[in-house]
């Protein structure tokens, strides 16, 4: 299932941010559905980081909360 994440990274590197975000969302959903906590946390990390970069107006508090959520997921599973 990590192929979803890797394809997202390729899309991100090519500048296709919308597709990358879509792939990260799909990976997050899939990870949660199959109980793959590592995949879910990885996709959430990439999605949160990229959405924070690509959104025109990002509220710093929302960005902070998103990243705190990602850190909490990693801590729960590692």
Check whether 5 has a pLDDT greater than 80.
Answer: yes
Return d(Cα 53, Cα 4) in angstroms, integer: 20
Question: What tokens were used for 30?
Answer: 């899939």
Give residue 60's pLDDT band: very low, low, confident or very high (50, 70, 90).
low
Return d(Cα 59, Cα 29) in angstroms, integer: 25
User: What pLDDT sits at residue 59?
Assistant: 61
Check whether 58 has a pLDDT greater than 70.
Answer: no
Show the domain range for 18.
Answer: 2-77
- Report the number of distinct structural domains present in the chain: 1
Closest CA to 26 of 43, 11, 9: 43
Residue range 4-17: mean pLDDT, rounded: 92
Is residue 12 within 8 A of residue 20, CB to CB? The reply is yes
Residue range 33-52: mean pLDDT, rounded: 87
Query: Lowest mean pLDDT: which of 2-6, 42-46, 73-77?
Result: 73-77
Is residue 70 within 8 A of residue 44, CB to CB? The reply is yes
Q: Is 36 helix (H, G, I), strand (E, B) or coil?
A: coil
């Amino acid at each position: 299932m990590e192929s979803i994440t890797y394809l997202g990274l390729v899309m991100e590197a090519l500048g296709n941010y919308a597709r990358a975000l879509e792939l990260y969302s799909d990976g997050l959903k899939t990870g949660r559905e199959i109980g793959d906590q590592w995949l879910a946390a990885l996709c959430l990390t990439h999605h949160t980081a990229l959405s924070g970069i690509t959104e025109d107006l990002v509220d710093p508090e929302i960005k902070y909360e998103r990243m705190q959520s990602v850190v909490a997921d990693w801590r729960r599973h590692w």
